[in-house]
Amino acid sequence: MEGLTTIQKLAVLFLPVLFAITVHEAAHGWMAKKLGDQTASLLGRVTLNPLRHIDPIGTIVVPLAMFALTGFLFGWAKPVPVDGRRLRQPRRDMALVAIAGPGANLIMAVFWAGMIHLGIILGDNYAWFALPMVYMGSAGILINAFLMVLNLIPILPLDGGRVVASLLPPRLAMQYARLEPWGLMIVVALLFSGLLGNVVQPGVLLVQNFSTWIVGLH
């Protein structure tokens, strides 16, 4: 997207960022509902309507500010409430609820790869439509790959941390959970130190390559 203006870049990034964040959260609620907890469903959070998941600060202000200041996108949606006591097998099911979010990002990465493929097929005959589709698809793959890998880092309150807490013996899980108040501070410190990119880059490349491969792009 090097040849695009700032406004064009924001237009290309808008939908991929919005849905990458909100569908991730909806997936948590959907999985919780399947496993017995209706909390998110009763609150109207098991939906693909982005308006139900937008956090004014995390979904709008922070991503725009980060992009304007650093050219890097970082944000979040309103967390989906999950009541572990209502899950059929709380420890196992909490891990499944957690992994549903990154799983949704993987599906969306493949979807955006499909959009690139479609844009290439349309080619020059429909360049007015095909070229934006290719740009948006490229952004969608990258954003979803990044969010998927970032959320799989085993730090609470990230999804990877939830999975680790579910797998640990109860006593160790309780001790591990005490680190949660520091989790986001650790992630932000990694982000501003530049180390976060080194941590997630191998996984992001793997997801990108998988997404393009599965739709037949080389």
| Active site (catalytic) residues | 25
Distances (CA, A) of 96 to 6, 40, 87, 161: 39, 15, 11, 12
Question: Omega of the bond prior to 157 within 30 degrees of 0, cis?
Answer: yes
Q: Distance (Å, rounded) from C-alpha 156 to C-alpha 161?
A: 4
List the alpha helices (DSSP H) in 35-126. 39-42, 62-70, 90-122
Burial class (CB in 10 A: 0-12, 13-18, 19+), 88: exposed
